[in-house]
Structure 1
Amino acid sequence: MLEDIQAAIPLGFLLSFMIGPVFFVLLETSAIKGFRAALSFDIGVIIADIIFILAAYFSSYQLLENLSNQPGLYVFGGVILLVYGITIFFKQGTKRPIDKPLKVKSNDYFSLFLKGFFLNFINIGVLVFWLGIIIIVGPSLDNEPVRIRVFFTTMLLSYFITDIFKILLAKQLKRKLTNNRIHLIKKGIGLILVVCGIVLIVKGFLPRDRFTIESGLEKIEGIRKAD
């Protein structure tokens, strides 16, 4: 059991630094709106991950293949990210605001929770990722429910604790933020979301043979054996 915990901690740490829309929006929320706002957003993200993990656990390898061969799901999620990113980008306008110290409005923590949840939930690639982890890690845990629960609970806790440190570090930037800098940051976040959306859409239009899971799992297994 202790070995399972030790194996899960570094994986959770690395997961926290996976570059994607959630990573950047979390840092932006912390820097602009503060610790509690970013924490609400992050809890929403983790709840979506828990739902994905449960779906992955009670699903099968066949579901993984079916999802991978449904490019429309990637296109759907990509379009949502694309539209959301474009909206954020153009909502800022082209005119820079007067450069003065930032004044933060009161936060709606439930809305931030929902924002984190849906931003993670619309990305079908996250579910495919967790399914892949279940398939790879399950046999090494002898497919024992207790060991699997301990592993993924530890992994998510490690992920969450690492995010808290990221939030605290990003919060330190708040003193240096002005309306002009916030304007640029939000435009940058909008562009990042647009790029992530385009990547998902392109992934949806790739040939089906590019979505086969066997090759990906073989590569991961090869890396594990090499280690």
Structure 2
Amino acid sequence: MIDDIQAAIPLGFLLSFMIGPVFFVLLETSAIKGFRAGVVFDIGVIIADIVFLVIAYFSSFQLLENLSNQPGLFVFGGMILLIYGIVIFVKKESKKANVKASTGTYLNLAIKGFLLNFINIGVLAFWLGLIVIVGPSLNNNPDRIVVFFSTVIMVYFLTDLLKIILAKQLKRYLTQERIVLIKKGLGVVIIVCGIVMITKGFLPKEKFNIKDGIERISE
């Protein structure tokens, strides 16, 4: 079991630095709204990952095959990201915007983190492929699988905490103009991620092999 934990640690660290919309929104939220807001947002993201892991564990092989045969799901998720990115890009910020988070805002941030991660069908595909690949090496033992992926999630979260702390240090340098530029840049990043997902949905089936892609990442 110690070996399983040691094998999971580098993977959890790597996942925390996978570039995507969640990565940039986490940094933006932490820098502008502070440490607590960043942690709450990240908790929402982690909950979505846990939900995906549960789905993947109980339906890995069949769901992975269905996902490969229905790339339209990527188009749907990509369209949502694209629209979300456009809204962020064109939205005008109030010059007297209050960046302090209230209790209600914390709940909204958690929901935002959950949904932003949950609509990205690529995240589900990643966890599915990872379970298919890692499961046999763990002898498909439920206890070992739980330990392995719990460690991955924990290391993922702890690494995110470091990113949140570092991002918070930038707050003193954030003027209203810079905040607007950050949000515009964030919108562009999310738009690009949405376009990439939509493109995946139109790729030929032979180039849309999720399992092969996960295997290349893990090598």
Q: TM-score, normalised by structure 1?
A: 0.90
Q: Kindly provide the CA deviation profile for residues 163-189 of structure 1, in whole angstroms up to 9, marking residues without a partner as x.
A: 000000000000111100000000000
Q: Is the 8 A contact 1:22 1:116 kept in 2?
A: yes
Q: Matched residues in 2 for 1:106 and 1:62: separation?
A: 42
Confirm or deny: 8 A CA contact 2:125 2:210 kept in the other structure: no
Give the root-mean-square deviation of aligned CA atoms: 1.8
1:48 maps to what in 2? 48
Following superposition of structure 1 onto structure 2, how do residues 5-16 of structure 1 map, counting pairs within 5 Å?
A: 5-16=5-16
Hey, what does 2:61 align to over in structure 1?
A: 61
Amino acid of the residue matched to residue 54 of structure 1?
V
Runs of 4+ in 1 over 6 A off after TM superposition: none
1:29-44 matches, within 5 Å, as 29-44=29-44
Which amino acid counterpart does residue 209 of structure 2 have in structure 1?
T
* Residues 64 and 91 of structure 1: CA distance in aligned 2, closer, same or farther (over 3 Å): same
1:126 maps to 2:123: yes
Question: Percent sequence identity over matched residues?
Answer: 70
| Residue 19 (structure 2) aligns with | 19
Residue deviations 1:68-106, cap 9 Å, x none? 22121101100010001001101137xxx87x9x85243
1:147–1:27 distance in 2 versus 1, CA, 3 Å: same
Secondary structure of the equivalent of 2:18?
A: coil
Task: Using the TM superposition, give the Cα deviation of residue 64 of structure 1 relative to its aligned residue in structure 2, in angstroms.
Answer: 0.2
Distance 2:194 2:169 in 1: 29
- Alpha-carbon distance, 1:2 to partner: 0.3
Count of residue pairs the alignment pairs up: 217
Instruction: Flag the structure with larger Rg.
Output: 1
Unaligned residue ranges in structure 1 (runs of 5+): none
Aligned to 2:141: 144
Q: Please report how far the alpha carbon of residue 65 of structure 1 lies from its aligned counterpart in structure 2 after TM superposition.
A: 1.4
Q: 1:218, CA displacement in angstroms?
A: 5.8
Unaligned runs of 5+ in 2: none
Check the 8 A contact 1:52/1:130 in 2, yes or no. yes
For residue 59 of structure 1, give the secondary structure of its aligned residue in structure 2: helix
Given that 1:65 and 1:213 are in contact with CA atoms closer than 8 Å, whether structure 2 keeps it comes out as no
| Alignment partners' CA distance in 1, 2:124 and 2:109 | 22
Cα displacement (A) at 1:127: 0.6
- Mark the CA change 1:30 to 1:208 in structure 2 (over 3 Å): closer, same or farther: same
Match of 1:158 in 2: 155
Cα deviations across residues 21-78 of structure 1 (Å, max 9, x unaligned)? 0000000000000011111100000000000001110013232011122121101100
Instruction: Look up the match of 1:175.
Output: 172
- Cα distance in 2 for residues equivalent to 1:82 and 1:143: 38
Letter in 1 for 2:134: V
Query: Is contact 1:21–1:196 with CA below 8 Å preserved after alignment?
Result: yes
Cα distance 1:164–1:220, how it changes in 2: closer, same or farther (>3 A)?
Answer: closer
Q: 1:185 to 1:140 in 2, by over 3 A?
A: same
